[in-house]
Amino acid sequence: MFHLRPKSLPNLTEAILLLVVSVGIISYFIIGVQDVPPHVPILLAILVMLTYGLIKRMPFKELQNGMVQGAQTGMGAILLFFVIGILIASWMASGTIPVLMDAAFSLAGGPWFLAIAFAVTAIVGVAMGSSFTTAATVGVAFIGVAQSLDVSLAMTAGAIVSGAFFGDKMSPLSDTTNLASTVVKVDLFDHIKNMSWTTIPAFILSFVLFVLLSPQQQGGSEQLANFQAGLDQTGLMHWSSWIPLAILVASTVAKRPAFLSIAASSLIATLLAGFRGIMEWSALWTTWFNGYEATTNSEAVNSLLTRGGMNGMLFTVSLVVLALSLGGLFFKTGVIPAILERVQESLQSPRSVTLSTAFTAIGINIAIGEQYLSILLTGEAYQDAYERAGLARKNLSRTLEDAGTVINPLVPWSVCGVFLANVLGVSVLEYLPFAFFCLLSPVLTILFGITGKTLTPKAVESTKVAQ
């Protein structure tokens, strides 16, 4: 959004005040009022920024253009949301998510349910390279298991989000991982290797915490067996139910675009369900919009399987459009550029550069709600600062992910936060305290920035490049 800069920037005090007021309005309604949909406070913040722009004699058309261009940055994610809604519905009808649930039930028999959910989603996340796809498939399955076992949904969602974003951060197939290395011009695998200094400790600590929080499943075996029997009686589970998952994994490994991979898997799943006679063809295609609705004799099983559809994503899409429109106004009025320019003037030491990078990435996530922009804008803004501080560029790319990629799902009005809350059925504020990996990653990168541990000097990087 750098191209949305105005001709003149506001002073620093003015910019900070506007940012605090806008974020404060949103936070008050979401945290304090709660019952009001988050769309309302974001729209109020938009009106505040529009009023400021008009007071500054900015033409409304320019402000409107800022909102439109801000919203356009999320069109890729919005289109992906629609096909993910279709994916969930079609995978329900084809039995793909039910067989995943059945497998998860088998894994959940032990005492480490939350730790297992975290580890499995982390492995799947690395394999798929997409936190959205991981949460919408394996994550939905584990939420279903948690519902059946009466395990805390907030803790389960925290484990799922933590695992999904471990995969999003460390997978060479991930968009954010590739974006961070590309923006900073660092080799992809050097970037991933360097991230292990903060990511592996965060993973281990998170796993231990989930082990400690996992309830002992006393008497759970019978309950698990009942739900597995209920899934079996639906008639959805079949050997062919694994085919859509295999297609999605194969497409991901082949590095096909996520939109096309998910669409192809959804189409195959729908055709499989149709040829197996699960539903009438007209009703089957209708699930693409309205979602799959289970009609078994068990209300508990019905609640597990009734999900998905494009219609279920409209709440998410509308909120994302409003949040990114607000982000466009922040840039068009010069609020964020003014803060970034002033911050960079005082950066000299490795500690100050690292801390400023982390807090900037976190701040952009909170203000704009878009993880790609937090990586792109922060990466572009701080490259020269790292050169002056004598730090290798891979330190910057690591901090972008530690404080950019994993923070987005912790912001209630962010693209990831809104999506995950909708898909998992747990609000961001409920799962936030238990998203240990996402909380620990920025803490560790800030701690290493203060102490200087694991930071690579520029001379070392230059030597490796020369060799």
Which regions in the chain score pLDDT beneath 50? 218-219, 462-463, 465-467
CB atoms within 10 A of CB 31: 10
DSSP state of 292: B
Query: For residue 157, which amino acid is it?
Result: A
**Residues 6 or more apart whose Cβ sits within 8 Å of residue 258:** 80, 130, 132, 133, 175, 252
**Cα(70)–Cα(18) distance, rounded to whole angstroms?**
18
Task: Supply the pLDDT for residue 372.
Answer: 75
CB atoms within 10 A of CB 55: 8
Domain ranges of the chain: 2-75+314-466, 77-313
Burial class (CB in 10 A: 0-12, 13-18, 19+), 8: exposed
**Cα(259)–Cα(358) distance, rounded to whole angstroms?**
30
Task: Supply the pLDDT for residue 219.
Answer: 45
Task: Supply the pLDDT for residue 288.
Answer: 93
Residues 322-357 have pLDDT tens digits of 877 887 888 888 887 887 777 766 666 778 888 888
Residues 195-243 have pLDDT tens digits of 999 999 999 999 999 999 987 654 455 556 667 777 787 888 888 989 9
Query: For residue 411, which amino acid is it?
Result: V
Residues 89-143 have pLDDT tens digits of 898 899 888 887 777 667 666 678 899 889 888 887 876 667 887 888 778 878 8
Count H helices and E strands in the chain, helices first. 25, 0
Task: Supply the pLDDT for residue 465.
Answer: 45
* Single pTM value for the model: 0.71
